[in-house]
Amino acid sequence: MHFLSRVIVVLLIVLLSTFSSAQEKKDLTIVTFGNSTTAVRKGIEKVYAVRIHEALTEAGISNKVINAGIGGSHTGSAKDYSRGTNIEHGMDRFDKAVLKHNPDWVTLNFGLNDAYQDKGDGTASRIPLDAYIANLTHFITEVKKINGRIILLTPNPLSSKLEQFRHERLKLYKDAVIKLAKSEHVELINSWKVFGKFARKDPAGMEGLLPDGTHPMDTGHKLIADEIVKIIKKRNR
């Protein structure tokens, strides 16, 4: 019996060690939640979700990145604005697109569609600023409940192809994201700052990053991915 007991103890140690190793090797799950600047897009070789996966894998971090970006999406629901009712917006799809994956990290990249003024200068945005903040706060709160970490991105800037009033309105949404990240104690990527720094050194300027005035090309996606990977690698030590 004494010998048998020792064998059982050894087997238990081996099993526990194997289980512990399996737990350590669990993929880091990341969900990139956002609009067309997150979604797979024609003309983009690698959106930032793909680049995140590749960079973390290269760094030896086993990971799974789920791209939950949908073109035309804002933070609210289809009922919040008469246009785009055939699109699943942020609040419509948050549970199934984000929470069901039990993510370790969630990136939130909304604002361009929320701030957009369909009827021109001086008119209402699709999603009012206070509702935009409330929606983002809801996403952050729910992710925190499942012990996920959040990286909040400001909407990226616009190029000179867009009217000045659109820059001014979007800046309000950008500033709100910066304040929200501070008050909620979550990670922040200020895309305006990141893109602006690059554009000042590049001959093509902001127009090179955003050829249609709004959507980043591959260089922009790489800039975003680099910032996200930097945060995750730092926190994953």
pLDDT in the model for residue 26: 82
pLDDT in the model for residue 86: 86
Q: Which of 35, 40, 89 is nearest to 218 (CA)?
A: 40
Beta-carbon-side half-sphere exposure of residue 97 (alpha carbons within 13 Å): 22
Beta-carbon-side half-sphere exposure of residue 153 (alpha carbons within 13 Å): 29
Q: Band the pLDDT of 20: cuts 50, 70, 90.
A: very low
Mean predicted lDDT score pLDDT of the chain? 91
Report how far residue 197's alpha carbon sits from residue 108's, in angstroms, rounded to the nearest whole number: 22
Helices within 117-163 (DSSP H only): 129-145
Report how far residue 181's alpha carbon sits from residue 165's, in angstroms, rounded to the nearest whole number: 25
Q: Band the pLDDT of 235: cuts 50, 70, 90.
A: confident
Share of residues in the chain with pLDDT > 90 (%):
84
**Structural domains present in the chain:** 30-235 (3.40.50.1110)
pLDDT digits (tens, 9 = 90+) for 43-69: 999 999 999 999 999 999 999 999 999
Handedness of CA 50, 52, 53, 58 (dihedral sign): positive
Structure-model confidence comparison of residues 134 and 16, the more confident one:
134
Four-point Cα dihedral 74, 79, 81, 86, nearest 10: 70
pLDDT greater than 60 at residue 38: yes
Which position has the token pair 């104690």?
185
**Other CB atoms closer than 10 Å to residue 197's CB: what's the count?**
12
pLDDT digits (tens, 9 = 90+) for 68-111: 999 999 999 999 986 767 899 999 999 999 999 999 999 999 99
Beta-strand ranges (E) seen in the chain are 28-34, 63-69, 105-109, 149-153, 187-189
Report how far residue 108's alpha carbon sits from residue 47's, in angstroms, rounded to the nearest whole number: 15
Q: Which residues contact 159 (CB under 8 A, 6 or more apart)?
A: 205, 206, 207, 209, 210, 211, 213, 214
Q: Which residues contact 95 (CB under 8 A, 6 or more apart)?
A: none
Q: Which residues pair with 33 in a beta bridge?
A: 68, 108
DSSP letter string, 44-62? -SS-HHHHHHHHHHHTT--
pLDDT in the model for residue 18: 42
Structure-model confidence comparison of residues 133 and 5, the more confident one:
133
pTM over 0.85: yes
Task: Take residue 107 and report the two structure tokens written for it.
Answer: 């990136």
pLDDT digits (tens, 9 = 90+) for 172-217: 999 999 999 999 999 999 999 999 999 999 999 999 999 999 999 9
Contact 124, 204 (CB under 8 A): no
Strand (E) or helix (H) holding 109: strand 105-109
Report how far residue 56's alpha carbon sits from residue 80's, in angstroms, rounded to the nearest whole number: 37
